[in-house]
Amino acid sequence: MKLLINEWRKYLRNVRSAIIIPLILLIVLIIYFSTMGSIFSKTTDSLSASNCNKAFFYGITICYCFINFIAIIYASNILSTEISRGTIKFILTRPYQRYKILLAKIGALTILMPVVLLVFVIISLILHLITLHQLPEFSVIIKYINIYTLCILAVTVFFTAFALMLSSLTSSPAFVTGCSIVYYFFAAALWAIINLIYLDLPTDGWLYKLCPLNVNSYLIYLMKDAIENPIQNEFYIALLANIVYACIFFLIATLVFRRRDISLAN
């Protein structure tokens, strides 16, 4: 628990990440809901329930995409920056096993991101009420929050473990951040090219869908489908596969980090 608290303190002490980043998201949400309010006020006399739900959906989607990107940036720096600066040696002087240090970093970020989502959902609802003068249906709010929270948990765990694995191999925060961002945005396209040229696997098969290069994109696709339709078993299978890959990344990170000579870091 002390390790978790220490990780959260690091986030709060970083003024740029604790103030500037949420402020940017807040400004984006204000602009979005103000625009929606202006559009609906000019085009319709009364806002329908479906339009109200759609406005909230796009608002929470903005929060989801923004928080995912922030989670990747945080995950890429929580270990690599400490190794490059040498501050990790102060933690290693305490009686903590190395796998617990890595586990605390994953746990702190995984707990933090859904909390951030909930905070900005509340802010979105307030802006929604101020600009559109109407709230979406309560069942829709709960449904969107549940789906997006599950996906944020999966994506955060996956990319934090992936970033920790890379950080255990290198001391360059820029390299880890670059690899994580490229993985998030381009891994599925890379897998499609590899499959097209070399493998020729059926795209509707589980081997193709649950490949580690494709599982996050497939999960996002299923999430979009779950918003319109009831959640299918495939969603939970992809979610489980995502977590299994995260466990593999964490295991590799732990094995490498336990044997790494941190004293060699600059």
Nearest to 254 by CA among 155, 164, 154: 164
Nearest to 3 by CA among 74, 95, 113: 95
According to the model, what pLDDT value does residue 104 have?
Answer: 87
**The pLDDT of residue 90 is above 80:** no
Q: Is 51 helix (H, G, I), strand (E, B) or coil?
A: helix
* Calpha distance 103→8 (Å, rounded): 14
According to the model, what pLDDT value does residue 40 have?
Answer: 77
In contact, 125 and 137? CB cutoff 8 Å: no
Nearest to 49 by CA among 39, 38, 57: 57
Q: Which of 64-68, 91-95, 148-152 has the lowest mean pLDDT?
A: 91-95
According to the model, what pLDDT value does residue 44 have?
Answer: 63
**Mean pLDDT score, 245-251:** 94
Classify each residue of 225-244 as buried b or exposed e, where b means 16 or more C-beta atoms within 10 Å of its C-beta: ebbeeebeebbebbbebbbe
**The pLDDT of residue 15 is above 60:** no
pLDDT bin (cut points 50, 70, 90) of residue 150 is: confident
- The values of phi and psi at residue 35, to 5°, are -65, -45
pLDDT by residue (tens digit) across 215-226?
A: 988 988 888 787
**Mean pLDDT score, 50-54:** 85
**Mean pLDDT score, 1-14:** 69
Nearest to 243 by CA among 154, 146, 152: 154
* Calpha distance 83→98 (Å, rounded): 13
> What is the chain's alpha carbon radius of gyration, rounded to the nearest angstrom?
20
Q: Which of 74-88, 117-131, 201-215 has the lowest mean pLDDT?
A: 74-88
* Calpha distance 58→31 (Å, rounded): 13
According to the model, what pLDDT value does residue 157 have?
Answer: 92
Look at the block and give the residue holding tokens 């998030």.
184
The maximal CA–CA distance of the chain, rounded, in angstroms, is 68
Nearest to 28 by CA among 70, 59, 67, 72: 59
**The pLDDT of residue 266 is above 60:** no
In contact, 89 and 263? CB cutoff 8 Å: yes
CB atoms within 10 A of CB 156: 25
Look at the block and give the residue holding tokens 């807040």.
26
According to the model, what pLDDT value does residue 264 have?
Answer: 42
Q: Exposed/middle/buried for 65, CB within 10 Å: 0-12, 13-18, 19+?
A: exposed
**In the numeric block, which tokens belong to residue 72?**
């990747």
Domain residue spans in the chain?
Answer: 2-264
According to the model, what pLDDT value does residue 1 have?
Answer: 66
**Mean pLDDT score, 196-225:** 89
